[in-house]
Amino acid sequence: MAAALALVAGILAGVLAEAGLPRWSALQHPKKKNTDRCFHHSECFSGCCLMDLDSGGAFCAPRARITMICLPQTKGAINIICPCRVGLRCTSEDLMCSRRCHMI
């Protein structure tokens, strides 16, 4: 049974390749760099699509560095503040202070 399924999958792969259909990897779009316009954080190389209050749109922005204000995680499509870079944790040391990126 498994051999029959493998045979059918191989035949279908060959038929699709001969038909000139693009592979899945060819359909993926490259990630956008910082300052490029975006609609969702998944479009950005940094993983942060930041709201631009001046123009009403959004742009890809770098993640927050150490001691910068941050959000603990990305929620929704567009952020108002970016999450921390890799290796940093978004925490508040005081209830009166906003969250900032700190070393783990």
Query: Is 70 inside a domain boundary?
Result: yes
- DSSP for 5-21, written as a single string: HHHHHHHHHHHHHHTTP
What phi and psi values does residue 29 have, to the nearest 5 degrees? Answer: -95, 145
Domain count for the chain:
1
Residue 8 is predicted with a pLDDT of: 47
Residue 66 domain-assigned (yes or no): yes
Tens-level pLDDT at each residue, the chain (104 residues)? 555 555 445 444 554 455 555 555 555 678 999 999 999 999 999 999 999 888 888 999 999 999 999 988 776 788 889 999 999 999 988 788 889 999 87
Residue 34 lies in a domain: yes
Task: Kindly report the pTM of this predicted structure.
Answer: 0.65
Tell me the residue range of the domain where 60 lies.
30-103
Are 64 and 101 within 8 A, CB to CB? yes
Of 65, 61, 69, the C-alpha closest to 91 is 69
